[in-house]
Amino acid sequence: MLWSSVTLAVARNKTVQVFRHNLTLLLRRRNFSTTGLYGISHLKSPKGFQSFVDEAIQRSGELVSYISTKPSASEIMRAMDEISDTVCSVVDSAELCRQTHPNREFVEEADKASMKINEYLHYLNTSHDLYDAMKKAEQECHMLSEETQRGIKSLRVDMERGGIHLCPEKLDRVNKLDIEISHLCREYTENIVIDPGTVDIYPSSRIPKNLHHLVKPIYQSEPLITKDLSGPKGTFNERGFRITTDPRTLDSVLQLSSDDEVRKMVYIRGNSVPHANVDVLKRLISARDEQAQIMGCGSYAELAVKPNMASSPKVVMSFLLEMSKMVQAKSTEELNLLTKFKREKCGHSGGDLRPWDEAYYTTLMKSSLYKLDSSVVSSYFSLSNCIEGLKVLVKSLFGVTCHRIPLAPGESWDPQVLKLCLHHPEEGDLGYLYLDLYSRKGKYPGCAHFAIKGGRRISQTEYQLPIVALVCNFSGSRNPSAVRLNHWEVETLFHEFGHALHSLLSRTDYQHFSGTRTVLDFAEIPSNLFEYYAWDYRVLKTFARHYSTGEVIPRKLFESMLGAKNMFAATDLQRQIFYALVDQTLFGEQPLPLGDSSSVVAELKRKHTNLEHIEGTHWEARFSHLLNYGAGYYSYLYAKCFAATIWKKLCQEDPLSPIAGSALRTKFLQHGGARAPAVILNDLVPDGIYRYYDGGIIPDISSLCEEMELGEEH
């Protein structure tokens, strides 16, 4: 997951639209040898965020005044990029601090800094001096570099996406809608925390011991029954468990509980909370639609998709419906297989597969067929070995070493944070990577790539090196040698490392285009591609060794892992298609085809999956991707298809080939968003990696179909 671009996970409200590709930069003039959080001299203490913000605003004001004098097009672009570099240094360091710092004072000051800089961003986005300068620059930039021309046009378009070209009345309404949308997103997120849902189970024996760490003991008074009915009545306290149906606990119970009734209660409760978000989502859909209408678009989906490769909801829906049709037969076959397995386990009384059965019987069937023991698998994936695996990968592919460097006092936010430097023997240092990998209270709960500083060319001889943070939540000891990962965690680590490499290896003139600062349906390709390396035995045997014996992971064990992964792959893909269809439909043309979001979800589930919808549930009430990726969730599927083609045609024959690595770096990663995505993709894989459709681009799906054995007709 990207943080900003998923990252991508910061809401695309107007306050960041002009600079939405630039999240995370430090002032150009910062001296990183000084001590302070992330190497920023201001941040030696929490209160340092105040002076950090003030200096950024002062410097940006000087640049705005300079741009107002209407200098040359190239000077306007350079000054705009420095404004972005300056302001986003505050935005992004504050965001990383808010999500990961264990010190509440640092978090609170970062929050204040974030609010203050966002107010200033609003001023920048509504500055007609800047807008007029961008229009002038666009008229005069034809003799400049391709990247400069793209940058000027991109900034002008982003300002217009904020409504600066509208009449005062419409612009005022757009501004109010921005505030409303921001509040609704916050309310939606807070409701998920406030009302995760609970289910009380009695007696406690119904919950298996391997789930006890996820549940809370509770007691209820029960009448004590004795043989002597005439005697005094008594009571005893019966022990049970309270299950909080947050997503992590819900998934664990559905996978591991053998009690059908427990799974049913937990599934229904977990998919029915928070009920308040049904109304919040309705209001969010309405506000986004009104905003889109003011901007001259037929729907919010049209507004959101227009800058991307797909270019329109029509193109996205064509792709999703094609994918749905493609996967239907095999997913039905997988459902029949799982239903048969359930009936064999339960007898004929088992009946059809219900929604709360899928995860349990999938886990049970994989385990029984492939004899996989998660503790055996994880014994080959100590965290220290996995980090070494990432180092082997960059060395083999790019000729780049990745070595640990010491942190200055005050630079780190937690004692366990590591800092790595990517170094090329001829080019020198390429960038810096912080690793914050361990779970702790109050920390961002998922796994994500946070940019801290984007790369940009400062002069003919000087380049501002990128700095990023890779954040995960691996549990267990804080000794990397003692922490052992499940393979899905290894896959996640490689996914996020793909994002990090996109940032660290890009070499763009402007930080506006550095690394992942590109369109949404292009930015996820490197991360999806690097997942393949976590599933290739030739790569795994370079680092996957038993934590105590040093034995290389056996080929037979790997083949069992791969077999289990592929066993219900079509069903997993179908689920992602369903999510993307829900996202597109909810933010498509209004009013909704069936009146409300829950009815839309139910109908799409009926049409495009093989499992029933349970009346009264509203899964969409905590699908937070609807906030951050509104009308953009399809991007994961685009990236999956593109990555499958790149892997097959460039990497599969020899995944550690320096030739393949050189192509990935020079034709793809180094360009960030500085070149058109279609140009980058066609240069990397010239023969049919995509096709044009109705003014947009659709990825070729044949490589993914072949990989998943979905039929020759595709």
**Cα(486)–Cα(561) distance, rounded to whole angstroms?**
11
CB 30 within 8 A of CB 167: no
Give the residue ranges of DSSP H helices in 163-234: 168-194
Contact 394, 501 (CB under 8 A): yes
CA triplet 373, 379, 384: central angle to 5 degrees?
Answer: 145
- SS (HEC) of 576-636: HHHHHHHHHHHCCCCCCCCCCHHHHHHHHHHHHCCCCCCCCCCHHHHCCHHHHCCCCCCHH
Contacts within 8 Å (CB) and 24+ apart, 677-682 = 677/309, 677/518, 677/519, 677/521, 677/522, 678/309, 680/522, 681/642
User: Shortest CA distance to 137 belongs to which of 207, 194, 217, 71?
Assistant: 71
Rounded Cα distance, 319 and 309, in Å: 12
C-alpha distances out from residue 627 to 96, 326, 619, 631, Å: 19, 28, 14, 9
Identify the helix (H) or strand (E) that includes residue 564: helix 555-567
Count of residues in the chain: 714
Measured CA to CA, the distance from residue 688 to residue 240 in angstroms comes to 59
- Strand-pair category, 467-474 with 428-438: parallel
- Helix 48-68 to helix 128-140 angle (10° resolution) is 50
Name the residue type at position 107.
V
State yes or no: is 496 an active-site residue. Answer: yes
- Spatial separation of the C-alpha atoms in residues 292 and 407, rounded to whole Å: 46
From residue 630, how far is each of 281, 285, 289, 341, 694 by CA, in Å?
A: 11, 10, 11, 38, 22
Report the alpha-carbon distance of residue 470 to residue 472 in Å, rounded: 7
Q: Under a CB-based contact definition with an 8 Å cutoff, are residues 274 and 620 in contact?
A: no
Spatial contact of 601 and 613, defined as CB atoms under 8 Å apart = yes
Asked if residue 23 lies in contact with residue 88, where contact means CB atoms within 8 angstroms, the answer is yes
Q: Which of 411, 496, 524, 531 is catalytic?
A: 496
Report the catalytic residues: 496
